[in-house]
């Protein structure tokens, strides 16, 4: 019983504790002496509101912690235009930290929405074999957007991406083609066409090469040589899209519910003791068949009919319709003796 109680308590508490810890991202390791830190965010999948929240946190913490840069390692097929615009705004408004977008690993893509993030970055880089482009706006199911709405969406996207490219001295003509004609290029082509600044096999090399570069739209110069990479994984809520604290109450209720079951079980066990065999000692029952040493009879007590033997074999047999007191248990029978009512005493005695 105790072990079950401890297990139930531990289960409820463990669930609540796990939920709390799941929304805490690991502390940054101590920086090298006088060395820069670069906060690294991983975006692998569709661009949506959860990615926006994630990058907003990483960029904000990088600025608060005076990080040398934020590096977004990107591999995406695209995503929400609204989320894309929000992230472009985050990158552009990060006035205290440069943002590097690195399309990786090998064969990764920065398609559709990812192209906008690449164009918005202070440093655009790709790994060999990766691709970017195909940024034409489409409907929720991937279908073309018809009529005037489609034209407006396309023109708005062209205005955004060409503005980003021009401000950062990148190929605005190709950027427009990526939106209007779904143009796409590989990493080597992107480098030759002034779409990105670097094509390197790993992020460390990108940061070494970019050291000393000026962020085109910010009054910042990258100081990323020999930088320590600090991974910034998504928290529970950023990954799953809802607050983990919503699970704390079920965890607590689980623990309390388990405690309630244990208490009920204990009470039930105690009740069994008080109302079961042990609880029958001293009870008065009605003799139904003659009880003697040579012929055990039956007594009705505690709502049931029991086999009964006399306490003293020398006593006279107990006849039916008389009363007897249960004094002992013996195997599956009861031991009884004649019930003698105590004489009543007068108030004056």
Tokens of 17: 């504790």
What is the C-alpha to C-alpha distance for residues 243 and 35, in angstroms, rounded to an integer? Answer: 35
**Nearest CA to 215 among 88, 69, 40?**
69
What is the C-alpha to C-alpha distance for residues 196 and 188, in angstroms, rounded to an integer? Answer: 9
What is the C-alpha to C-alpha distance for residues 113 and 137, in angstroms, rounded to an integer? Answer: 9
Helix (H) / strand (E) element for 335: namely strand 333-338
Q: Which of 152, 243, 265, 268 is catalytic?
A: 152
Q: Does residue 152 have an active-site annotation? A: yes
Task: Using alpha carbons only, give the angle 262, 265, 267 rounded to the nearest 5 degrees.
Answer: 110
Q: Is the Cβ–Cβ distance between 290 and 310 less than 8 Å? A: no
Q: Which of 16, 112, 121, 184 is catalytic?
A: 112
Q: How far is CA 143 from CA 88, 106, 125, 136, in A?
A: 24, 28, 30, 11
Q: Does residue 283 have an active-site annotation? A: no
What is the C-alpha to C-alpha distance for residues 148 and 217, in angstroms, rounded to an integer? Answer: 33
**Nearest CA to 78 among 105, 106, 118?**
118
Q: What is the DSSP letter of 155?
A: H
Instruction: Enumerate the active-site residues.
Output: 112, 152
């Amino acid at each position: 019983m105790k072990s079950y109680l401890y297990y139930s308590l531990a289960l409820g508490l463990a669930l609540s504790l796990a939920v709390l810890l799941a929304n805490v991202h690991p502390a940054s390791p101590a920086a090298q002496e006088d060395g820069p830190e670069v906060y690294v965010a991983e975006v692998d999948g569709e661009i949506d509101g959860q990615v926006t929240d994630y990058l907003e946190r990483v960029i904000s913490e990088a600025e608060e912690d005076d990080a040398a840069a934020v590096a977004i390692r990107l591999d995406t097929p695209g995503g929400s235009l609204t989320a894309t615009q929000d992230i472009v705004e985050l990158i552009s408004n990060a006035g205290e930290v440069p943002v590097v977008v690195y399309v990786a690993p090998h064969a990764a893509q920065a398609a559709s929405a990812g192209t906008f993030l690449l164009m918005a970055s202070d440093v655009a880089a790709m790994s060999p074999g990766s691709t970017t482009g195909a940024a034409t706006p489409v409907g929720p199911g991937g279908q073309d957007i018809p009529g005037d709405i489609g034209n407006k969406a396309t023109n708005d996207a062209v205005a955004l991406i060409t503005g980003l490219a021009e401000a950062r001295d990148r190929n605005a003509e190709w950027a427009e083609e990526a939106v209007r004609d779904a143009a796409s290029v590989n990493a080597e082509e992107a480098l030759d066409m002034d779409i990105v600044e670097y094509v390197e096999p790993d992020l460390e090399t990108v940061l070494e090469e970019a050291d000393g570069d000026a962020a085109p739209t910010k009054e910042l110069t990258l100081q990323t040589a020999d930088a320590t990479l600090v991974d910034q994984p998504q928290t529970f809520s950023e990954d799953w899209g809802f607050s983990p604290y919503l699970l704390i109450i079920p965890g607590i209720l689980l623990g309390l519910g388990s405690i309630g079951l244990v208490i009920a079980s204990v009470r039930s066990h105690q009740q069994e003791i008080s109302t079961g065999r042990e609880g029958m000692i001293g009870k008065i029952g009605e003799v139904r068949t003659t009880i003697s040493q040579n012929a055990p009879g039956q007594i009705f007590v505690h709502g049931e009919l029991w086999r009964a033997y006399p306490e003293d074999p020398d006593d006279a047999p107990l006849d039916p319709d008389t009363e007897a007191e249960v004094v002992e248990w013996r195997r599956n029978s009861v031991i009884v003796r004649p019930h003698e009512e105590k004489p009543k005493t007068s108030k004056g005695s």
